[in-house]
Structures are given as structure tokens and as C-alpha cells.
Amino acid sequence: MPLKVYNTATRSLDLFVPLEEGRAKVYACGPTIYDHAHIGNFRAFLFYDLVHRYLEWKGYEVRFVMNLTDVDDKTIKGAVAAGSSVGEFTRQFGDLFLADCATLGIVPVDRYPRATDYIGPMIDFIGRLIESGHAYQADDGAVYYSIASFERYGKLKGIDLDSLKVGARVSHDEYEKEDARDFALWKVASEEDEVASAAWDSPWGRGRPGWHLECSVMSVTELGDTLDMHLGGEDLVFPHHENEIAQSEAATGKPFSRNWLHVKHLQLEGRKMSKSLGNFITVRELLEEGFGPASIRHQLLGAHYRSELNFTREGLNASKSAVQRLVDFDDRVRALPTGQAATATDLQTISETALDAFAAAMDDDFNTSDALAALFMFVSRANAAFDAADVVLESDRNAVREVLGSMDRVLGLLEVARASRAVDDDLALWVDLKIQERADARARRDFAAADGIRDELSARNIVLEDGAGGTRWKVVD
RNA sequence: GGCGCCGUGGCCAAGUGGUAAGGCGGAGGACUGCAAAUCCUCUAUCCCCGGUUCGAAUCCGGGCGGCGCCUCCA
């Protein structure tokens, strides 16, 4: 089945056709590492991960690059305040970011380029733009990109160039939307830049690269002139991505990205999350509040990436229950007794149908809500089939296992839930002992003692389940 | 003020012309010593009004309501 994606550039659902068959080159705008990433950032990063996982799931040979912005107004400001260089200052936040990614089960990408490692290529890139008449050094010493030199400027956002003031200059990174003007490619080094070791020599004097330039150069350097997909948050459409297109296409003469996908910003407890409102929250804080990473993942995947998503504690609790249902199902499948005398089931059909529905949902512009529905429908039907049969065929059990595992390679819910529930051997031994004690108590019908033990375990997030084959236990969030 | 999006059960959320997915929660039942897990049953006519159509949550018009971007942000 073909994958269709909503392309911001065409404003339509387009068939995903990479430049080279079977290969997918993806570039995603990563975080500016001057602070902790918050839950809103992770809606985008988790979407990147979903794209990454699904393209691989479909068999593409994926080359995925996500930058970590380490040179811009904010990192320099932070470094100066901290009395360190941008390199030192951003390293800690880069590490914290990658740690959060790992917690949430975000699969590592192929490269995490940082601007400071690409100063040489950036200088070359600017040189090419000046030679071809797309950039100029101004009286203030900075090098600017000439918007008027690129006729397609404004195409991505769909803005009317005539209505824009062209010719004025913007030297700061903190961009101004709806006010397209020539933007800086190379900035004259300020005193702060020097203090933060964020200044380099160039043919145009001491300075540093402009933010928009960084992404163009890193993507082209790492992935070639034309990308198959470029991902980012909705706020980046203009001017950041518009500028990337202008720079890259002017420099290479080739189409920059075949598809542009943008994630909508989320709401937090019904409100926009922003620093001015003081209501942004980090992954770490949520974990401290006791929410599991799989619950966070589930809630963020619960709504389609282009639609509104209101991230709430209440929703997180609902997600926790949903994830537990999956884990319970996975446990059941793993421990399921199989045999030849089994009753015939239609588990093969249930499995195939579920996987088809799942793939169809994902192919439809990554419709995760629909994909989750396919997963949970599968869980219900398989559970019912298990209940109806005394024993199932091993091949049927395996079909279910494979489909569950297959879906989770994309969704990563079980994977993350398992990782956060790992138990050490000592604990397992202790629990087994307690279960034996309880079994003895039950055998002599001393239910008060039995319930006491169950409560003791429950206090440690260990839940018991008495079944036909004895008592099983599990760790819950 | 400009541009755009949205309004589906108690909550979250799919569904863009053919008679309402899924999750959470709730009620009842089966199972259990009691639970837990699981299963079964029940729990919405899609903000309002008008229009188009054989037929609309889905299209058009008008209201009302919420939100986003235009300012830092993914």
C-alpha cells in the first residue's frame, strides 16, 4: 500500500515518492539546546520518530538527520549568562535532550549535526550565494540573502510577495512572521558572540552564521541537494523553512525537499504552552509526578499530528490504563498455552485484518488515532478468541505475537512500557516467595492473611492475578 | 485588525455524502473465596438555524462558541 502524506508545499495529500526508489532521506528541525525541551517540543519529536519508524517498517532504507541548534541568539545569551562558551553551555542540554528521547523510546537517528561543526561548509555556501547574486554584504558588514533574487520566495507559505516589504534587513534570529525581509546569512560578531566563543573568521570578517542558513547547510551536507521529507513544527513554515528553500535552491539549483510535513503545536491543560504564561512542563517533571513514559507516548500519539491535541493529566491517566491493557494482553499472549488438541480459532484472520487496518491507517498521513483503534480492536478480538478456546494452536498464537510486535515496532508503546517496568532478580524472588506464602494461606482458607499479602505487594505497584494456571504477577506504573 | 483551524457520547479522539472506529470512565452480567485480568450487554445522531441532495456529522450560507499564527517557541 502506498503512503500518502500531507505536503505543506502543495496543500494536498500526496503520494510519498522518494527521489530514489526504496530510500528515504529525511531531515527534521530539532531543538535549540539552550534549555530543557518541554512536552510540546516532544509532540514534534515523537512525530519525527513515528515517521522514522514507519518508513523503516515499510521497508525503506532510511537516512534520518535531526539537527541540534547550538548557535543562535538564545544559546549565546545563555552561554554568556552562564559564563561559558556555547559549546560547553549547549552540551549539557544536548545530553539531557537525548536522554529524554531515550526515555520516551525515540529511536536514535543517523546524525545529530550541530552548527558549530559546519562553519566551513556554511562559509562556502554563502560564497556560492554571493557569486550567483543571491546574497550581498551590506554596509553593516553582515551578509544578507536577497529575497528579490529568488522568484519563488513565499511559495511554501503561500504569501504574496508584493504585499511584503522587500529590501529591509533582519539581523536577528528571532524572526518576524508576515514581514519577510532580507535575512542574515552571516552576522558580524558582537562582543557577546566573542565572549561565548561563537565567532569565526570568514571572508566577510569575524562573525557567525544566521540560524536559517544552518539547517540548509547541514541538510545538504548530510543528505544531498534534495531531501525526500523535511519535518518541523508548524511555527517553522515561515520564515524558517521558506528561507531554507530560498537558500538551498538558489545554491544548488535543485528542488530542496520533495515533501514538507508540519506538526501542530499542542495545548497544555487547555491552554497554549508558552514561557510567558509560565505553563510549560518537561518530560522529567511528568516522570517525577509519577506518569510513565509509555503513557506520555500514548497520549501524544492519540491525536493526529495535524490536529489539536490538549495534553492533560486526566488524559495521561486514561493513557496509563490503555497502555496497561496492552501490556496485560502482551503478557497473556506470551504465556498462552498452546497445543494440538486446540479448538479451531480465526486468530489468523483476526491478525491479518488488524495488520491491514493498521497499515492503512498509517499510510493515510500517519493517522495514529485510527492505527491505535486497529490495535485495540485486535486486542479485543484476540482476547475473546482466547477466552473461547481452551488451547490454541501454536501457529495461531505466533500470528498474534507477530502482529502485536509488528505494530509496536511503529508505536513503541510496549517497548517503552517494558523498559520502565524492568524488575531485578531480587525483587522477583521476593515476590515469588510472597506468592507462595499467599498460596499456602489460601489453601487453608485463611483469606485475611492472603489479602494482607496481596495488599503488601500492591503497595509496591505489584498486582496479582489468580488464574487457572496459578497466580501471576505484574508491575504497574 | 489580518490570515487560518476547529466544535462528534461524562472525558479524549477517528470518521469529509450512505446511515456514528477506538481508548478512558460508568451501569449490569459471567468468571473469582474476594479481587485482578478477560469476556458479554448497555452507555451519542455528531453546537444552533436555514439550504443543496433520494440521502449530510460529512457540501453551501448564517449564527454562536473555542483555538492557533501574525511576538519567543516544536
Which of the nucleotides lies closest to A303 (Cα–C1')?
B13
> What residues contact A111, with CB distance under 8 A and at least 6 apart?
A65, A66, A222
Helices (H) and strands (E) in chain A, counts: 16, 16
Structure-block grid coordinates of residue A72:
543562535
Q: Left if phi > 0, otherwise alpha if psi is -120 to 50, otherwise beta: which for A220?
A: alpha
Which of the nucleotides lies closest to A328 (Cα–C1')?
B37
**pLDDT tens figures, A208-223:** 999 899 999 999 999 9
Which of the nucleotides lies closest to A376 (Cα–C1')?
B22
State, as a whole number of angstroms, the distance between the CA of A158 and the C1' of B12: 33
**pLDDT tens figures, A412-450:** 999 999 998 888 899 999 999 999 999 999 999 999 999
Q: Taking 80 as the threshold, does the pLDDT of residue A226 lie above it?
A: yes
What is the pLDDT averaged over residues A458-472?
A: 89
**Which run of H or of E encompasses A182?**
strand A182-188
ipTM of model: 0.93
Confidence of residue A156 (pLDDT cuts 50, 70, 90): confident
- Give dist(CA A308, CA A314) in Å, integer: 16
Domain at A4-267, CATH from 3.40.630.30, 3.40.50.970, 3.40.50.2000, 3.40.50.620:
3.40.50.620
Domain at A290-420, CATH from 1.10.730.10, 3.30.1330.60, 3.40.50.1110, 3.40.50.1100:
1.10.730.10
Q: What local confidence, expressed as pLDDT, does residue A10 receive?
A: 83
Which is more confident, A131 or A339?
A131
Q: DSSP letter string over A83-112? A: TS-HHHHHHHHHHHHHHHHHHTTPPP-SB-
State, as a whole number of angstroms, the distance between the CA of A267 and the C1' of B47: 22
Return the amino acid letter for A378.
F
**pLDDT tens figures, A45-73:** 999 999 999 999 999 999 999 999 999 98
Domain ranges for chain A: 4-267, 290-420, 425-475
CB atoms within 10 A of CB A256: 25
Residue where the block lists cell 496481596: A454
State, as a whole number of angstroms, the distance between the CA of A271 and the C1' of B61: 32
**Which run of H or of E encompasses A448?**
helix A447-458
Q: Taking 70 as the threshold, does the pLDDT of residue A165 lie above it?
A: no
First vs last Cα of chain A: how many Å apart? 37
State, as a whole number of angstroms, the distance between the CA of A364 and the C1' of B18: 22
**Which residue stretches of A19-82 are H helix?**
39-57, 73-82
Calculate the alpha carbon distances from A116 to A67, A86, A90 in Å: 11, 9, 11
**pLDDT tens figures, A372-381:** 999 999 999 9
A286-289: Cβ within 8 A, 24+ apart: A286/A39, A286/A316, A287/A103, A289/A313
Confidence of residue A147 (pLDDT cuts 50, 70, 90): confident
Which of the nucleotides lies closest to A273 (Cα–C1')?
B73
Confidence of residue A114 (pLDDT cuts 50, 70, 90): very high
- Give dist(CA A95, CA A254) in Å, integer: 35
State, as a whole number of angstroms, the distance between the CA of A137 and the C1' of B26: 68
Question: Strand B: which bases are under 7 Å from protein Cβ?
Answer: 2, 5-6, 11-15, 21-25, 32-40, 66-74
Which of the nucleotides lies closest to A37 (Cα–C1')?
B74
> What residues contact A28, with CB distance under 8 A and at least 6 apart?
A45, A48, A64, A65, A66, A67, A109, A230, A231, A232
* A4-267 and A290-420: identical CATH topology: no
- Whether the upstream peptide bond of residue A108 has omega within 30° of 0, thus cis, is no
**pLDDT tens figures, A227-275:** 999 999 988 888 888 889 999 999 999 999 999 999 998 888 877 777 6
State, as a whole number of angstroms, the distance between the CA of A331 and the C1' of B28: 28
Label residues A268-304 b or e (16+ Cβ within 10 Å = b): beeeebeeeeeebbbbeebbeeebbbbbbbbbbbbbb
Rounded to the nearest 10°, the torsion over CA A138, A143, A145, A146 is: 20
